[in-house]
Structure 1
Amino acid sequence: MLHEKNWARAWLGLGLVWFVAAIALAPSNKVYQQGLVAFLWLPTLILAWPARTVLIEAWRRQPALWGAVLLLIVWGAISLVWSAAEDPGREAKRLIYILVFLLAFPLVAQGGPARIRHLLQIGSGLLAIAALISIVQFYFVLGNPLIGRLGGIGEISHPILGAYVIGTAVLLLLYQLPHQRVVQLGWLLALACLGAFVMLSQSRGAVLALLSTVVLAPLWFRDRHSRMIAVAAVIATGVAFYVVYDVITARGSSFRPEIFQAVIQMIGEHPWTGLGLGASYKVSAVGMEFDHTHNMFTHVAVELGLPGMLLWIAVWLFTLAEIVRARHTLLGKILLALWIFSTMAMQFDAASLTATPRAEWFVSWLIVGLAMLLPWGSAENDACGKISGST
């Protein structure tokens, strides 16, 4: 079959690595989007018909998850009827992008779970390089003070959203300890760069989400490695509070409770239809205007109404169900960590579900897509919780 050819797997593998790493390393967002078209969208469309049996099997193995995704996409398309979006055609095209993105994952899964993890390691390693470049450029080249909030390169320039992208990379690497000594050194350096980026971004939401996930992880990893990481994370957090307590608490609650209260009123004005997909809006609170709700679930409710929010919750919970079903595999355990991290991240700032691929996709559609890989790795036995670090 065409999708089983080495060149086809390499093409799709490059697309997955590009999605993860090029968000920071691509010279511009336009190049990033064009790369996704060339390396992920195009091969998926070319291989979709020859690999139709794989896609049918994907539906058969995860009917609830795929059904919820399709219903959400259909509801989003219907909402364009009443939406005040500037370009409804563009919004509809973005829904197709999401569907094609997700269709790529069952095809990528045919390479096997070990290869998938290696691809994610490569992408995360490249993000570590981007994190190091960001730190050097921001503090040493541009001369910003060390108490300044780090803004990264490329599309991780936003301190909060960039921290969520890098936090995802941390979890993709953290529980994949290499066996070789030399590779372990690179693994430690990569994690040091990624961890430093998250801390220097001063994104309390990202730090809290990452810390909570790491502390809870021993419950399902059940190994010495995860317990040591959890203890180290707690100690590091305590030291950070002692050293830079004033910096951590200076911004208070960042008006999140006031924003949430105003958003609830907005949802109440259009509870069933929302404003429509792609409709722009402002949140007025404490005498200021905010570009979005600073919460993924309420953002979806504002755009797509309560039906849209319930459909997204269904997608997210069915994703969790698939992850729990595969919790005996290493990929399943890593995805459970990512799901918890992403769920917490959605509460603080991520508020873009149907726009073109961007930082918010790392805590939404990427997790859904990776969960769609799991049926093909369910037979994998990862009781040791470790894999070879060679890539």
Structure 2
Amino acid sequence: MPMTKANNSVTPGQRFHLQADLPRWVYGWLLLGMWWLLVGLAASPVGDKVWNPGKPYHDSLIVLFIAPALWWVWKRRGEFGRRLLGDIDGRLLLVFLAWASLSSIWANYGHVGDMFFNAVYIVLFVIVWAAVVAGNPLWFRRLLFWAAIGLSIVALGAMTIFPSRVLHTLSWQTEGRVVAFGALDNPNLAAFAYGAAIMWLTQIAVRTRWMHVLQTLALVVMVIFVIMTDCRSAWLAILVAQGCMLLAARHGHVKLRALVILALSLIAVAFGGWQYVKERGMSYRPQIFKQAWGWIEQHPWRGLGEGSHYTIQVADQLWTHSHNVFTHTAIMVGIPGMLVFVALWLIVGWRAWLFRHISTGRCLLAVWVFATVAFQFDAPELMQKPSVEWFLGWLPLAMSMGLAWRVRDSKCRDSQRRGRTEMPA
């Protein structure tokens, strides 16, 4: 089979499309990198710290994702730039990232170069994934599907070897809270990642029987895994998201699937889960919020600076973050910076609601609701290298921008088509 060549004559306004823009080996390479971005979180080697997914994972992304992504962005740099600056969410993203990078100048433990690199990484991720959503929505859904399958295989392996595994945090093993590997070597982060995967996989329609079987088995494995993490915030996020999809979805099969998952989740909570929730109580969340607000009051306008270190202590417990994305962001970059992110997040939610009638829009809405609930309890850091909280924050934005770009492309094609038909002979 001859290799597909990229179209080198790209005209302004031409829609994004992997097959037209890049050679086959490059866009295959890029799609592999995008798949590894998600699956590698759970399959990458464990680093020395809980929050470090391991250097090999990030080094591999330079080759598998950053290199082909930069190729595509450079090839279509004019179009990427116009679209990023032409939308309100693109401009808000740039404002937020610029302010966060600038704030690292006065941070007590910040490095301007690191923050700038992280900001460029986020922009590259958002616009490349948005371009795939806009130009190749079917491929994007297949990418999410196979990423969920990969994550479920890792979850099955993690559950199988968990009883005999030696963890660096023994309390999780004594508590029976299952974890995965790499960046997901933490029960809460693992539950958030697998909860998000459950959200998007339940919204993807597949046609062949064997893919239905794969989808069902993957969902069963991931649901069991999330239950075994004993992460109450992930349980709540799944319940709220599935309840939202039950009300918002227009298709009967989507409503039925949401109803089944919601019913099974409620049964699981009723038979054991609720007792566990009562025993653990609020986990100091009100006290943590009070201390986080104290940090915000000390530096309300410009924050401590992105990358700063701070601590919150309640009784004998010590934390290095506020267990809430919005308060943590306000501590880092001040209330104005936090409000910019909130505005950006609300735009994503509104667009998810508008596009709930299509499969990609439903994936976006389910993940956005799940992330919004999860953000209230944990996963605080947005400005770092790829991690669970990083994806929960920026993947919905990329999907939202991609849907907006696709609508714009459709309107342009319809306008051009009408112009040709109305042209006199």
TM above 0.5: yes
CA distance in 1, matches of 2:60, 2:219: 26
Matched letter for residue 351 of structure 1: P
Matched, 1:293 2:322: yes
Residue of structure 1 equivalent to 2:186: 158
For 1:7, the equivalent position in structure 2 comes to: 25
Q: Does 1:360 align with 2:360?
A: no
Distance 2:254 2:163 in 1: 32
**310-319 or 217-226, larger mean C-alpha shift:** 217-226
In structure 2, C-alpha distance between the alignment counterparts of 1:133 and 1:359, rounded to whole Å: 19
Aligned to 2:206: 178
Task: Please tell me whether the aligned partners of residues 76 and 277 of structure 1 are also in contact (alpha carbons under 8 angstroms).
Answer: yes
1:210 maps to 238
Given candidates 348, 353, 357, the residue that maps to 2:377 is 348
The TM-score normalised by the length of structure 1 is 0.90
Query: Pairwise CA RMSD of aligned residues?
Result: 2.3
The more displaced of 139-148 and 265-274 is 139-148
Given residue 68 of structure 1, which amino acid in structure 2 is its aligned partner?
A: L
After superposition, the C-alpha distances for 1:19-54 in whole angstroms (9 at most, x for unaligned) are: 111111123521211122112222222222221243
Counterpart secondary structure, 1:49: helix
Match of 2:189, as an amino acid? L
SS in 1 for 2:45: coil
Three-state SS of the structure 2 residue aligned to 1:80 is helix
- Report sequence identity in percent: 30
Amino acid at match of 1:202: D
Could you tell me which of 93, 114, 122 is aligned with 1:90? 114
Q: Does 1:132 align with 2:161?
A: no
Determine whether 1:103 maps to 2:131: no
Is residue 90 of structure 2 the alignment partner of residue 66 of structure 1? Answer: yes
The residue type equivalent to 2:69 in the other structure is T
Residue 21 (str. 1) matches residue 21 (str. 2): no
Write out aligned runs for 1:1-391 (5 A).
1=7, 3-28=21-46, 29-59=54-84, 63-109=87-133, 111-139=135-163, 148-244=176-272, 245-286=274-315, 288-378=317-407
**Runs of at least 5 residues in structure 2 that lack an aligned partner in the other structure:** 1-6, 9-20, 47-53, 411-425
Partners of 2:101 and 2:306 within 8 A in 1: yes
**Moved beyond 4 Å, runs of 4+:** 140-147
Please give the TM-score of this superposition, normalised by the length of structure 2.
0.83
- Cα 1:242–1:336 change in 2 (3 A) is closer
Q: 1:199 to 1:321 in 2, by over 3 A?
A: same
Number of aligned residues: 379
Q: Cα offset for 1:108?
A: 2.6
Q: Is the 8 A contact 1:113 1:376 kept in 2?
A: no
For the residue of structure 2 that corresponds to 1:71, the secondary structure is: helix
CA contact (8 A) 2:103 2:305 kept: yes
Deviation of the 1:363 alpha carbon: 1.2
**Which amino acid in the other structure matches residue 255 of structure 1?**
Y
Question: Residue 111 of structure 1: CA displacement?
Answer: 4.5
- Give secondary structure in 2 for the equivalent of 1:284: strand
Question: For residues 285 and 40 of structure 1, do their structure 2 counterparts lie closer, same or farther at Cα, with a shift above 3 Å needed?
Answer: same
Larger Rg: 2
Instruction: Using the TM superposition, give the Cα deviation of residue 110 of structure 1 relative to its aligned residue in structure 2, in angstroms.
Output: 5.8
